[in-house]
Amino acid sequence: MTEDSPNRRALITGVTGQDGSYLAELLLAKGYDVWGVVRRSSTMERPRIDHLHQPGADHSERFQLVYGDLGDASSLFRIVEEVQPDEVYNLAAQSHVQVSFDTPEYTADVTGMGVARLLEALRSLRPEARFYQASSSEMYGKVVETPQSETTRFHPRSPYAAAKVFAFELTRNYREAYGMYALNGILFNHESPRRGENFVTRKITRAAARIKLGLQDQLRLGNLDAKRDWGFAGDYVEGMWRMLQADVADDYVLATGETNTVRLFCEHAFARLGMPLTWEGSGDTERGLDAARRVVVAVDPRYYRPAEVDLLLGDPSRARDELGWVPEVGFQGLVEMMVDADLALAEADAGRSARP
Ligand code: NAP
Ligand code: F7E
């Protein structure tokens, strides 16, 4: 993409996360001025975006960070007033489903109420801004139909998903009540080498690479039978941007239309490293063995969830037909991309620990 949106101002919450980093790169390449909201933390390292704002980086003069927090309305009002954004992408959230069972109130506050705070700031100070809300396939939860589309009823199965349903409905309400250009992207799981290390895909690819190099003995997982529609985050941020360019605001599903199990993801990851897996046992005692019959994958019930989402499979036809959005990376390509990146990181780690 080339510089086709000069002087447009985009505000991204969650810019330090997986999606925020890819979206910032995309919008900068399109010529936007980009503001990213960051939280104060005890370390200044922001590995996913450090390459964007260091002096001398491409476009660094058009990329700025501002301090704020979805839990702090005053910070959001101040940022909206200062930035006067044309487009706002709300990607910030407590985004981990299992963690949301341990922190339900915090998750509701940030992932749910945070959207109310941001929408109010926009309604008061910048009602003409276009607003993207990062909604989630987790809202379908205990699914009532397959595949899931924009018309499928929600049945959330976690505090995270319940908070996302609240945020979804609020975004739609601000569109209907105040005529604001506010929409939801209902995104199915999307992954990348920048995925957080405690989401299952990245946990698998990182562990597989480290086991290959002798840096780790075993990978411990929860439910191997869960099925997800996994795509590549780089494709999905393009879809977010396309949504906000449509003449009329509406809600869209982004998905690949293919679903696979956690078990199959493991098999592909280890196979990429020349370590074909065979499975033995079932339930809590199921295990994956390598060719030397070492147990390299074990089930650990600590990773089971109080309520599971068994199957997600999205129908992306509205996004394809109305936005021209088609994901480029398929399941196999995604696994290989992530394994290769984690192997390079593990090799660097192994090199560091071998040095005197
Ligand atoms: P992620 O990597 O976990 O990033 C979350 C971002 O939110 C981080 O930048 C984090 O900042 C920020 N954040 C957390 N709490 C905050 C707060 N109180 N105030 C301000 N910022 C806060 O998530 P992701 O995978 O990029 O996902 C982006 C969004 O899409 C999230 O809303 C997620 O729920 C949603 N979503 C994700 C998927 C997926 O498969 N990835 C699918 C559907 C929807 P720190 O770096 O400071 O922690
Ligand atoms: O789990 C199973 C687990 O944590 C996927 C977030 O981005 O996508 C993500 O939520 C499946 C679940 O993603 C482990 O039980 C097995 O069935 O990678 P995950 P998620 O819960 O689907 C949605 C769309 C979002 O919106 C969220 O923000 O894998 N699983 N064993 C495991 N999961 C984890 N994390 N760790 C395991 O050891």
Q: What local confidence, expressed as pLDDT, does residue 44 receive? A: 87
CA distances from 50 to 21, 46, 47, 148, 341 (A): 9, 6, 5, 37, 18
Task: Give residue ranges with CB within 6 A of ligand 1.
Answer: 13-14, 16-20, 37, 39, 41, 69-71, 91-95, 110, 134, 136, 187, 189-190, 196
Task: Using DSSP, state whether 123 is helix, strand or coil.
Answer: helix
Q: What is the pTM of this model?
A: 0.97
Residue 356: the pLDDT is 65
- Ligand 1 midpoint to CA 96 (Å): 9
Residue whose CA lies nearest to ligand 2 atom number 15: 223
CA within 13 Å, CB half, 349: 16
DSSP sequence for 77-109:
HHHHHHH--SEEEE--S---HHHHHHSHHHHII
In the reported structure, the alpha carbon of residue 299 is separated from the centroid of ligand 1 by a whole-number distance in angstroms of 27
Give ∠ CA 341-236-320 in degrees, rounded to 5: 135
Distance 14 CA to ligand 1 centre (A): 5
**Coil, helix or strand at residue 315:** coil
SS3 sequence of 14-53 = CCCCHHHHHHHHHHHHCCCEEEEEECCCCCCCCCCCHHHH
Which pLDDT belongs to residue 319?
Answer: 98
Q: Which residues contact ligand 2 via a Cβ below 6 A?
A: 95, 97-98, 136-138, 188-189, 198-200, 203, 221-223, 226, 228, 262, 303, 305, 308-309
* Nearest-CA residue for atom 5 of ligand 2: 200
CA-to-CA dists, residue 57 to 12, 18, 49, 62, 177, angstroms: 19, 19, 11, 10, 42
SS3 label, residue 274: coil
The CB density around residue 8, as the number of other CB atoms within 10 Å, is 16
Rg over CA atoms, the chain:
21
Helices (H) and strands (E) in the chain, counts: 12, 15
Residue 226 CA, closest ligand 2 atom number: 17
With the C-alpha atoms ordered 123, 125, 130, 135, is the resulting torsion angle positive or negative? negative
Asked whether 253 and 246 are in contact (CB, 8 A), the reply is no
pLDDT of the chain along its 356 residues, tens only? 334 666 899 999 999 999 999 999 999 999 999 999 999 999 989 999 999 988 788 888 999 999 999 999 999 999 999 999 999 999 999 999 999 999 999 999 999 999 999 999 999 999 999 999 999 999 999 999 999 999 999 999 999 999 999 999 999 999 999 999 999 999 999 999 999 999 999 999 999 999 999 999 999 999 999 999 999 999 999 999 999 999 999 999 999 999 999 999 999 999 999 999 999 999 999 999 999 999 999 999 999 999 999 999 999 999 999 999 999 999 999 999 999 999 999 999 998 877 66
Closest atom of ligand 1 to 69 CA is 19
Give the orientation angle of helix 18-29 with respect to helix 233-245, to 10 degrees: 60
**Hey, CA dihedral for 176, 129, 38, 118, is it positive or negative?**
negative
Two tokens, residue 176: 């209907």
Which residue's C-alpha comes closest to atom 1 of ligand 2? 200
In DSSP terms, 232 is beta-bridged to 191
* Protein residue whose Cα sits closest to atom 4 of ligand 2: 199
